């Protein structure tokens, strides 16, 4: 029996608990405590909440009607705690099923290329990917279908198992309290945004960043685990990309690069 089913069964038993059945109440509270520890750990907030559920009046003596109301209140409190546990488990399950690791996806031939204004760099990388036997997916080459840019990015990248992000010196940037002498070239901000998107969507080991070498080029520093490779004139970056693709589980024959 799975966790959700166990909690459903417990909720049903709490609902059936008769007034004054102290032994049954203790057994149900113990079961709830056990599930809280097993499902959420010994430091779970649910353990403390279960221990505070009260089935009896605070002040005695009192009439039977007051005792019955307190009993029903205790049942409701315990039931609500168990239902909240169930909701948390269901939410975790939904989130885990929604995030499909790239390695679990069916084999894909599509590799997404994020680029700036450097057309030659973009075409060079696209040709390299195609030489290796894969499809290069470039956002602006895909039909809009009435979608905005964000929706288009999400949908067109959905079947991609790898991304190559091209950082070229397209913009200038420097702190507002500095002068022009501090300005540096940098990639366009939408390219940096898409870099972060693919880091989250595919994992860092399935994203390679190629940056164009320039003396004043500023490389984004906030992406831990990012694989930065220099886009050099000699073309050694091609073997670097092939190596990373192979490490990510793609079938790669580097000999195709020299054909």
* pLDDT at res. 220: 74
**Euclidean distance between CA atoms 259 and 237, whole angstroms:** 16
Asked if 197 contacts 226 with a C-beta cutoff of 8 angstroms, the reply is no
* Tens digit of each residue's pLDDT (9 = 90 or more) over 97-113: 544 454 445 568 899 99
* pLDDT at res. 13: 95
Q: Are residues 131 and 243 in the same domain?
A: yes
* pLDDT at res. 207: 92
* pLDDT at res. 223: 64
Q: Are residues 228 and 154 in the same domain?
A: yes
End position of a domain, from candidates 98, 121, 138: 98
Largest CA distance in the chain: 94
pTM for the complete prediction? 0.57
How many domains are there within the chain?
A: 2
Q: Are residues 230 and 207 in the same domain?
A: yes
Q: Are residues 191 and 83 in the same domain?
A: no
Domain with 238 in it: 103-258
Q: Are residues 118 and 212 in the same domain?
A: yes
Number of H helices and number of E strands within the chain?
8, 8
Q: Are residues 121 and 188 in the same domain?
A: yes
* Tens digit of each residue's pLDDT (9 = 90 or more) over 30-78: 999 999 999 999 888 999 999 999 999 888 788 999 999 999 999 999 9
Q: Are residues 75 and 179 in the same domain?
A: no
Q: Are residues 38 and 152 in the same domain?
A: no
CA dihedral 11, 17, 22, 27 (to 10 degrees): -30
Kindly report the CATH number assigned to the domain that includes residue 153.
Answer: 3.40.50.450
Residue numbers of the chain with a pLDDT score lower than 70:
1, 93-107, 174, 221-225, 259
């Amino acid at each position: 029996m799975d966790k959700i089913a166990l909690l459903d069964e417990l909720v049903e038993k709490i609902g059936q608990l008769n007034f004054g059945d102290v032994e049954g109440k203790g057994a149900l509270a113990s079961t709830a405590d056990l599930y809280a520890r097993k499902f959420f750990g010994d430091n779970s907030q649910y353990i403390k909440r279960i221990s505070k559920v009260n089935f009896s009046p605070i002040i005695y003596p009192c009439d039977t009607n007051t005792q019955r109301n307190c009993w029903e209140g205790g049942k409701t409190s315990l039931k609500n705690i168990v239902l909240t546990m169930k909701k948390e488990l269901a939410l975790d399950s939904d989130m885990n099923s929604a995030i499909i690791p790239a390695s679990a996806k069916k084999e894909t031939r599509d590799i997404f290329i994020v680029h700036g204004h450097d057309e030659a760099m973009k075409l060079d990388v696209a040709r390299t990917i195609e030489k290796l036997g894969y499809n290069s997916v470039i956002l602006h080459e895909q039909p809009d279908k009435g979608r905005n840019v964000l929706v288009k990015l999400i949908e067109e990248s959905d079947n991609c198992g790898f991304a190559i992000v091209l950082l070229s010196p397209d913009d200038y940037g420097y702190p507002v309290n500095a002068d022009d002498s501090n300005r540096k070239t940098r990639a366009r901000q939408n390219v940096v945004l898409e870099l972060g998107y693919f880091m989250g969507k595919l994992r860092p080991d399935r994203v390679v960043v190629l940056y164009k070498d320039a003396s004043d080029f500023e490389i984004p520093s906030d992406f831990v685990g990012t694989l930065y490779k220099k886009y050099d004139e000699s073309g050694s970056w091609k073997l670097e990309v092939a190596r990373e693709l192979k490490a990510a589980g793609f079938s790669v024959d580097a000999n195709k690069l020299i054909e």
